[in-house]
Structure 1
Amino acid sequence: MNDNELGMGAKITRRDFLDGVAVAALAGVASGLPGCSPQSTTPLRGPAAIDYPPATTGLWGQDNSSYAVMHKIRDGAFWATAPVAAAGREHYDLVIVGGGLSGLASAYFYRQARPNARILILETRRDFGGHAGRNEFNVNGRLLLSNAGTQSMESPAEYRPSAARLVRELGIDVSRFYHYFQQHRYDGLSTGIFFNRKTFGRDYFVAGAYTRPWSDIFAGAPLSPDAKADLIRIHTKEIDYLPELSPAERIAYLKTISYSTFITKHARCNAGVLPYLQDRPYDLFGTGIEAVSAFDCFNAGDDYGMEYPGFQGMDLGLGKGKWRREKPEPYIFHFPDGNASIARMLVRSLVPGSIPGSTMEDIVLAPCDYRKLDDPDNQVRIRLNATTVKVVHDADPSRATGIQLTYATPHGLQGVSAATCILACWHVVSRLIAPELPPGQKEQLAYCVKEPYVYTHVALDNWRAFKKLGVYQILAPTSYHYFTMLDYPVDMGGYQSPASPDDPMILFMLRAPTKYGLPPKEQYRAGRWELFRTPFFEIERNIRQQLGAMLGSAGFDPARDIAAITVNRWSHGYAYEYDKTLWEHWAPGQRPCDLAKRPFGRISIANSDSSGAAFTDTAIDEGYRAVGEVLRFG
């Protein structure tokens, strides 16, 4: 299909976010500073100002000024041309760098301990919440909500006391999600598999994975006879591929080989099966099966129900026939906008008058008055569009009485002082903006290389094609977006998720940019570079081509049926996780993140990077720990 047939020129709502910021808006912070003006001469289309970030509209391009400030600091070029910072007349008990969940939780815990404290949160984006962002759509007069990043509370029964207490005190009763999450909405629909022409030779779609016999699923697939036979075998036969080893020995060995090696060397599969399985770890690990250990694949499983075949005949400490460790709770603890509702509830508790209401239900549709966030009359202030560039003590850290901070705005550099500071930003940023940190600690902070992801949301006029095909989610090996699903069906607080196939619907499409064959960190760096340089129209074309190929047989027309597209590019996405057993082995308490988060003088470090786990509860826990550290200073 050509661009016209795909609908590339259609008048729809298009939104492009890079690490939570509309890409045109990113240039605004940089352009007000010398040496950081936009490099592109192509005009950016979209509104000049953002009044309500979750519903920002416009087709906005991307230029290299998006990260100019921090990249110039990284390269040692920022301060040579930076203007003199305006004298800071504001003083706070605590300044928090980063308005994501960890930063907001830090403010929450600190205020509990010091009810009269003055707190300032500096957030580089034009919205709060960090990865816990909110996407809003209006399709034919109907409001549709989805998460820009952080999806759900995973296994809240296992939360540590600090995170569990915060969730409870905000008024979140997780048991109510058993009623709000419509677990039977998609009954009768299954998982589809799409084989694309570029990799497999022809486009082929089949429904019924995990419900129909695997021999039926692979019968018409564009695979060699040997590959088909091997895939059917590893999905259906209970074979122990390491019979000479004990369960403990199997586990130890599977930690040393990739899943790809396990499948080809031990399960003796034809190499033709690998493209089908290649993308399976993307949603959790951000790399393919060549870079994830076989044990990690078995142990982690997949949040979307896609299992790793080949283990069902092996006892890996759970008994024969167990495909993976069972999760203690279903994956249903999901607000319509994901964990953005948790961020919004935190803001509501911190900033009077910002968001009305008092319950976990009314937060869903409650409007946020962004003008209230930085009200000078508030004890807690949230200052958006403020990129912190320097954090130093006012004297030698051993005898300092406070912290001096400098931050960039579209109008230049500003200063502010505080008794203490929590860096709730990415580790890689903390090492750049806190020059006093010991070199060894900076090295540990630099070790964290975050996993890049693309969370794409496509609003459709209807989802009849999915109903006709009999699927609610689609696995698309080696396609641009490897996974597509109908959005989570959650009805709460007056919000009604789409129930009829004739209703407008949001599709979630997931991409993990990777570079096959490299170690995980190098894949993440390569993927991040891809996200920086890929223009929106290229992503949109891939979306339209893929949806047309997958759904076209059921009457889907990408030029007619797409109402809006929002692309959330998380170039710095998930926190780096240190349990990649194929690559790393650390003694307890000696992971780089454990050493990197040590307090330095009046500066403490939070963020999920400090835990080595990309979860909401760990972000909260790290904020709680950091608050305990700065409270030592009164």
Structure 2
Amino acid sequence: MTSFRPKKSRYYRSQEHGNITRRDFVNASLVGAGAALLTAPAPLAALASGDGKKIFPPTPDLGDWWYGYGGIGDYASSHGNTPEAVSAAHSMRDGKYRSADNEIHELAESYDLIVVGAGLAGVGAAYEYRKLAGASASCLVLDNHPVFGGEAKQNEFMVNGHHLVAPQGSNGFSIPDLGNAEAEDFSAGDAYYYRELGIPTQFSYADLPAGSDNLRFGRDNYGYLFWTQDQVDVSYVFNSPTDEGPATHVLNPWSQQLTNTPYPAAVRDDLLAWRSSNQTPYQGSNFRAWLDTMTYKHYIEQELGLSAAVTEYCDPILASAVGLGCDVISAYAAFNVALPGFRGYETITIDHRHSFPGGNSGFLRHFVKKAKPEAISGGDSFAEILNNPIQFELLDQPGQQLRFRQNSTVVHVRHDNANPDSSNGVEVTYIKDGSAYRIKARAVVMATGAWVNKHVVRGLPSSYENAFARFHHAPILVANVALSNWRFIEKLGATGTLYKGGFGAFCNIRRPMHVGNVTPPLAPDSPAVMTFYVPFYYPGLSLQEQGQRGRLEMLTTPFSEYERQIRAQLTHLYGSYGFNPDKDIEAIVLNRWGHAYVTPQPGFYFGENGAPAPRDVLTRNFGRIAFAHSELKGNQHWGPAAMEGRRAISQLSHLFSAG
């Protein structure tokens, strides 16, 4: 059977996946943008309350003017949060579905388990349930997007006959120590599932042609920001697009001890001290809990005694990994992602990074293939799992033990008895194609974030409600720009760039992994994808205000405006090295994630003032409902996310019949 292929967007003129003209971008981008902006709230006015209350501006009528082109292949209709998912989520937030009894279609469907959310925690729960339950047990996974994966999805392009793949969101991993399958740190779950899923430990990457083979590329879209800069050629730009003249690049400054930068000597000394600090400011027995009593800014400036310039340097790096900057994020979160300043204490190492072509979609697809083999066509080799099409028509068929139902936004979950401990099941209401449906299950795993669960799950005890209130989130925008060539990168001599001002704060081209017959080249005159991860952080505002302001900015910006910013940013950075946006840009895909990160404030991990940590409350099941999401670990990562699904299934296992 053939798999579903989303229709081509008008943002892309294809002649058997040929080139695109600038006119296609401009004409299509501007359609509807002006009208939409008339209804969009003014960002600063919307945040002008100042009384600490949550501000929920009206949701503009999102459409093509906002969403834009999605690439080719199975993920083309599902890049970032879709307009439909945003609209449904905001209607739910605003109380539209508080009553579950209006115009509900009662379906004669009942399952042993319903999993809400098809990200890594959700598919991890489905995978573990299939191992645990009997052959006759039934499981339904409900997801609000057209394609399973959560933020572990991919963008695909065809440029001049070459198939290019890039991550929509989560990407990057290190091969874990497979003898440490039950590690209790940030990477807990990596080794267990790496071995369980049969992921390879060796990969093939594209080779550079002679003459360019001394140029060092990162193999993911994160490591080059800090962790692997000794392995990658990186440039720093200190003048912004608002300054006169082109960007001035400084190559590999850390290898030069920052002497080739404009930093004053005192700032250089502080940055070098931060990077290799041997200080031990804490002498107690619980270093990790102590770190969770303060922000990373406090730790840098007060405990290490370094200048605010170090905090400013680190802000975009921490925001790219945890959602916001040093002024609001727990120092323990920075410790967990191996940022510096903790020399002498046990920490993890982020080194020798890899990324599947579509980022962590590679892990997600392995879970799906193992749990439901017919979901991805072909066999179970590494190349087939990553490259073969999704069999959409086989995801949700009557009689299947595991079903995936996409485009289904869950809006109401409640036990069938006011006392969860004496209930016989759970009722789940979801919206699909504008209609509401109710189904039943013996148990439910909510593999969705706190911003959803607190609105959806009914009858929660106050302890759960209070815990959910302590979860805050930040957005991120991932922009993948398909280029016809990267000759300008070769002329510059850097494959990743960090900068101030303009669109985002960093971008790179990675060395592509070769998988099966998807073997994109790595030659200066061949196509490639330039990837931007754009965090939204505003030092000085509260943690909650920063997340709200970022989502508002991302929600109300048209595709055409982001396209203009991307073109201007790339021209500023690389125009003097030959970059020409009219000739070199083939396509742009935006992936907007409104709640990409949980942003762990001090006390998130270990609690504060005698109160338990909020995640410790939510990792206890509520009757027949268990919560599982990567946010419950505080630092979101593929292995721990799947492990949350495993924990949730374990908590509910007494409700399932063995077979």
- TM normalised by structure 2 equals 0.77
Q: Is it true that 1:117 corresponds to 2:144 in the alignment?
A: no
- Give the secondary structure class of the aligned counterpart of 1:441: helix
Query: Within 2, Cα distance between the matches of 1:82 and 1:246?
Result: 56
CA shift in 2, pair 1:69/1:12, >3 Å: closer
CA shift in 2, pair 1:545/1:425, >3 Å: same
Correspondence for 2:236: 193
Query: Within 2, Cα distance between the matches of 1:609 and 1:117?
Result: 29
Q: Is it true that 1:363 corresponds to 2:399 in the alignment?
A: no
Q: Pick from 562, 566, 573: which aligns with 1:543?
A: 566
Q: Is it true that 1:600 corresponds to 2:622 in the alignment?
A: yes
Match of 1:559, as an amino acid?
Answer: D
2:120–2:641 contact (8 Å) kept in structure 1: yes
Q: Pick from 64, 76, 91: which aligns with 2:110?
A: 91
CA deviation after TM superposition for structure 1 residue 253, in Å? 8.9
Query: Within 1, Cα distance between the matches of 2:81 and 2:344?
Result: 51
Correspondence for 1:230: 266
Q: Pick from 183, 193, 196: which aligns with 1:169?
A: 196
CA deviation after TM superposition for structure 1 residue 429, in Å? 1.1
Correspondence for 2:366: 345
Task: Single out whichever of 82-91 and 372-381 deviates more from structure 2.
Answer: 82-91
1:410-559 matches, cutoff 5 A? 410-559=433-582
1:45–1:61 contact (8 Å) kept in structure 2: no
Query: Within 2, Cα distance between the matches of 1:495 and 1:478?
Result: 36
Q: Pick from 404, 429, 446: which aligns with 1:382?
A: 404
CA deviation after TM superposition for structure 1 residue 568, in Å? 1.1
- Give the secondary structure class of the aligned counterpart of 1:395: coil
**Residue segments in structure 1 that go unaligned for 5+ positions in a row:** 1-6, 17-22, 24-36, 222-226, 303-307, 319-323
Query: Within 1, Cα distance between the matches of 2:274 and 2:116?
Result: 52
Query: Within 1, Cα distance between the matches of 2:107 and 2:233?
Result: 59
- TM normalised by structure 1 equals 0.80
CA deviation after TM superposition for structure 1 residue 478, in Å? 3.7
Per-residue CA deviation, residues 541-594 of structure 1 (Å, 9 max, x unaligned), is: 11111100000010001122111111111111023436x479985499931011
Query: Within 2, Cα distance between the matches of 1:515 and 1:170?
Result: 40
Query: Within 2, Cα distance between the matches of 1:107 and 1:250?
Result: 36
Query: Within 2, Cα distance between the matches of 1:276 and 1:133?
Result: 30
Query: Within 2, Cα distance between the matches of 1:441 and 1:57?
Result: 32
Match of 2:367, as an amino acid?
Answer: L
The alignment-based identity, stated in percent, is 26
Match of 1:103, as an amino acid?
Answer: G
- Give the secondary structure class of the aligned counterpart of 1:471: coil
Q: Is it true that 1:152 corresponds to 2:172 in the alignment?
A: yes
Match of 2:123, as an amino acid?
Answer: L
Per-residue CA deviation, residues 420-467 of structure 1 (Å, 9 max, x unaligned), is: 111111122112111122122122123211232111111100111111
Q: Is it true that 1:67 corresponds to 2:96 in the alignment?
A: no
- Give the secondary structure class of the aligned counterpart of 2:476: strand
Q: Is it true that 1:401 corresponds to 2:430 in the alignment?
A: no
Q: Pick from 131, 150, 156: which aligns with 1:130?
A: 150
CA deviation after TM superposition for structure 1 residue 228, in Å? 2.7
CA deviation after TM superposition for structure 1 residue 153, in Å? 3.2
Task: Single out whichever of 389-398 and 238-247 deviates more from structure 2.
Answer: 238-247
1:179-258 matches, cutoff 5 A? 179-180=204-205, 186-187=215-216, 190-197=233-240, 203-210=246-253, 213-214=256-257, 217-218=260-261, 221=262, 227-235=263-271, 256=294, 258=296
CA shift in 2, pair 1:116/1:51, >3 Å: farther
Correspondence for 1:32: none
CA deviation after TM superposition for structure 1 residue 489, in Å? 2.6
1:194–1:474 contact (8 Å) kept in structure 2: yes
1:222-301 matches, cutoff 5 A? 227-235=263-271, 256=294, 258-259=296-297, 262=300, 278-292=315-329, 300-301=337-338
Query: Within 2, Cα distance between the matches of 1:41 and 1:441?
Result: 33
- Give the secondary structure class of the aligned counterpart of 1:539: helix
Q: Pick from 47, 56, 78: which aligns with 2:97?
A: 78
Number of aligned residue pairs: 580
Query: Within 1, Cα distance between the matches of 2:99 and 2:247?
Result: 57
CA shift in 2, pair 1:600/1:378, >3 Å: same
- Give the secondary structure class of the aligned counterpart of 2:388: coil
Query: Within 1, Cα distance between the matches of 2:167 and 2:275?
Result: 41
- Give the secondary structure class of the aligned counterpart of 1:283: helix
CA shift in 2, pair 1:403/1:564, >3 Å: same
Correspondence for 1:143: 163
Match of 1:342, as an amino acid?
Answer: F
CA shift in 2, pair 1:530/1:632, >3 Å: same
Task: Single out whichever of 128-137 and 107-116 deviates more from structure 2.
Answer: 107-116
Per-residue CA deviation, residues 319-355 of structure 1 (Å, 9 max, x unaligned), is: xxxxx956165222x2111111222222222334221
